[in-house]
Structure 1
């Protein structure tokens, strides 16, 4: 099946799971920021691996990568645009940086870990399978360089990728927009979608 052409009912099933993950993320981010963080309804889609490369072109991004182990193994890539990442760092540290230093990496790692874990926990609990998320790693480079070093050389990834566009809003300085990409190992995405009745 071509999972990039899902109908509205099938996308609603994915959106329901994404809403649970986004709600859990918003709760955790509210604690981190010491203020209420709201969420917009996530936009959910299935895209091809090549589209992920095309979405960012030659722009440099800040990305958090976590490995997913268990029955729905794969990797999660949470991608921030640079200005969003540096606004978050300034909000939490009080310092406006132009380069990603160790403190900044720690902040972004924590944010990415919260969002990635929340979404993967929501997916695994919704379909009743096990998924364990690894310690996050940070990359600050063009998306092509990140993907080549992480996925393409290993060769163990699916062409179909789950793309969840997130938007968390506290005040203007704690607005978190980004993309959650679940890049599955062979067969993992099909297992998730079939468990949701998408086959």
Structure 2
């Protein structure tokens, strides 16, 4: 996979709009103003994924969602646990957190909303009609949960697209790692549509 400047600029615009949509939806959920930073776009070797937070022993929340349509693949949302705890307290208004099952349900819904916000931007820019499946949420050390996710990707391409941004709530930054991972046979189709070089 190759990301030249033009492709990277389009992906950055997608990330800007997707993050803006996500921030608006998240703001409604927690009833607070949320700003975003300028997204960072990176083509990451897939074997580096377990070290995304800097340490494979860091605990994270990982939301994995399949998408399908004219192309197929997976979306991966990664949040460090301190971010997850902050998000849960925002969702439940700083009160005592509910039992794990309710927390998991809330995070699945959040992952679904955030993923949908980015996927909507991808659809607009690529003229693809992609839909997403139900989210699955896992908690564990980054090395364990992300290595498992990599195995499940079943793709031979050795790089994945990272759209990284930060939500700013009351001067506190919450970092979001969003990975867009088309299946190998979908990569060329995705970029053809993205660059306006659609096939008839």
- TM (norm. structure 2) is 0.85
Q: Which runs of 5+ in 1 are unaligned?
A: none
Q: Is the partner of 2:18 in helix, strand or coil?
A: helix
Q: Is the partner of 2:179 in helix, strand or coil?
A: strand
Q: Is the partner of 2:154 in helix, strand or coil?
A: coil
CA offset digits 1:1-21 (Å, max 9, x no partner): x42xx3444321210111111
Residue in 2 that maps onto 1:11: 8
Q: Is the partner of 2:166 in helix, strand or coil?
A: strand
Q: Number of residues paired by the alignment?
A: 194
Residue in 1 that maps onto 2:134: 135
Residue in 1 that maps onto 2:169: 170
Residue in 2 that maps onto 1:72: 71
Is the contact between residue 151 and residue 157 of structure 1 (CA under 8 Å) also seen in structure 2? no
Q: Which runs of 5+ in 2 are unaligned?
A: none
Q: CA deviation at 1:52?
A: 0.9
Is the contact between residue 60 and residue 139 of structure 2 (CA under 8 Å) also seen in structure 1? yes
Establish whether residue 52 from structure 1 lines up as the match of residue 46 from structure 2: no
Is the contact between residue 46 and residue 163 of structure 1 (CA under 8 Å) also seen in structure 2? yes
Which of the numbers 176, 179, 182 marks the counterpart of 2:180?
A: 182
Residue in 1 that maps onto 2:18: 21
Q: After superposition, where does 1:50-129 map in structure 2 within 5 Å?
A: 50-56=47-53, 57-93=56-92, 94-95=94-95, 101-129=100-128
- Superposition RMSD on alpha carbons, in Å? 2.5
Q: Is the partner of 2:78 in helix, strand or coil?
A: strand
Q: CA deviation at 1:148?
A: 4.3
- TM (norm. structure 1) is 0.85
Alpha carbons of structure 1 residues 46 and 100: separation in structure 2 relative to 1, 3 Å? farther
Is the contact between residue 74 and residue 157 of structure 1 (CA under 8 Å) also seen in structure 2? no
